[in-house]
Amino acid sequence: MKQFLLVFLGGGFGSILRYWISKNLNSYYSNFYLGTFLVNIIGCILIGLLIGLTLKYNYITENQTLLLATGFCGGFTTFSTFALESNMLLKETSILSTSLYMGLSVIIGIFAISLGLWISKTL
């Protein structure tokens, strides 16, 4: 039961922060959902860093991983919103804008996880 509570709390905080960032940034850019893009990239860096530190130093406990990686990062980042916004961009803007948003999100997201893992190795 404790593990469910940790995921719930972390996910709640991550979701609130994602909502706040997206609300404040998405409204300023009509052809690119900057808020969602940034939270997904930041979340990728964070999860890469957390997992990398866990693998390297083994000082992040299973419960901390559940709170921070599964809960917070899981609530903070969002694939479903990314997919919805990609669909909306496809209907409302050009294929180029949609492709740029989708391509950068995936490529930079994978790079961000690698960056987080690399940073954890240098600490």
Contact 74, 10 (CB under 8 A): yes
CA separation for the pair 66, 1 (Å, rounded): 12
Q: Is 71 annotated as a binding residue?
A: no
What's the gap between Cα 45 and its chain centre? 8
Query: CA 31, CA 26: separation in Å to the nearest integer?
Result: 9
Which one, of 88, 94, 101, 95, lies nearest residue 41 by Cα? 101
- Cite the annotated binding site for Na(+) by residue number: 74, 77
